Structure 1
Amino acid sequence: MSVAQHQASKSMELQRIISAMHRAIPELHGVMIASVDGLAVAHDFPDAEAERVAAMSATALGLGKRITERTNLGGLAEAVIRGDNGYLVVYAAGQDAVLVLSGPIDSNLGLMRLEARVAAVDIKQILGQA
């Protein structure tokens, strides 16, 4: 398998994870897998906002990790941002990736947590960090 075919295969697998998240939680506005450097890897956000969401989510993950470390809370499980109109929830997916879920204010956060844990493991495996 060539490098290009391998990358295309990874991209398709990541898109399958995004689709599975929407099947499990249909009310989600968007799902993104981004690098910890703030670059969108795979997503279904509108293209105009994808890079901005990726950058802010990577920043939220980094800041959340620092806060949990400095306050002796242990490893970061998630960073939840709640606004008047909904949630943006950020999870680490290995050392190099960020999983981002965006949903309405009535989102089921418990379901989001369950599905994100499974997806984060899958993302780690796909990106070769298992």
Structure 2
Amino acid sequence: MASKVEQITDVLRQLRSRCPEIIGSSVVSMEGFLIASVSPKEIDEELVSGMSAALLGVGEQISQEIMHAPLSQVFVKSEKGFVILNSVDKDAVLLLLVTGDAKLGLIFLEIRRILPELQKVI
């Protein structure tokens, strides 16, 4: 039987195969530790994971303090693309790096489709 990390990695590979605009995908703990990743070698996965923890912290504060609701997604747009963080469960987050020409509606649809798969594994 495949390990938890291998199972998560398989789900991330399936996501990238369905959405080639996804440059990199990871599952990260809420503390910013990398759990599993499918990313090109030029992406420093540990750095991205650590920075995602900072982004999550601010997002959670805003969501709780201002919106009085739990955080479900953080979305960052840059000139070259997008960073999407989506809650998997209370302990893990899906992190996607996406090209600027991606059809975001399709990306969000695929996120909704794979979250139950990730939740089963995690």
TM-score band, normalised by shorter chain: 0.7 to 0.9
Give the deviation of 1:57 after TM superposition: 1.3
**Equivalent residue, structure 1, for 2:45:** 50
Q: Percent identity between the aligned chains?
A: 26
Partner residue, 1:64: 59
Q: Does 1:121 align with 2:116?
A: yes
Larger radius of gyration: 1
TM-score normalised by structure 2 residue count: 0.88
- Mark the CA change 1:48 to 1:28 in structure 2 (over 3 Å): closer, same or farther: closer
- Structure 1 residue 66: deviation in Å? 1.4
SS of equivalent to 1:107: coil
Could you list the structure 1 runs, at least 4 aligned residues long, displaced by more than 6 angstroms after superposition: none
Which stretches in structure 1 are left out of the alignment for 5+ residues? none
SS in 1 for 2:69: coil
Alignment counterpart, residue 70 of structure 2, candidates 52, 71, 75: 75
1:101 paired residue number:
96
Aligned length: 121
Could you list the runs of 5+ residues in structure 2 that have no partner in the other structure?
none
Deviation at 1:12, TM superposition (A): 1.6
Quote the RMSD (CA, aligned, Å): 1.8
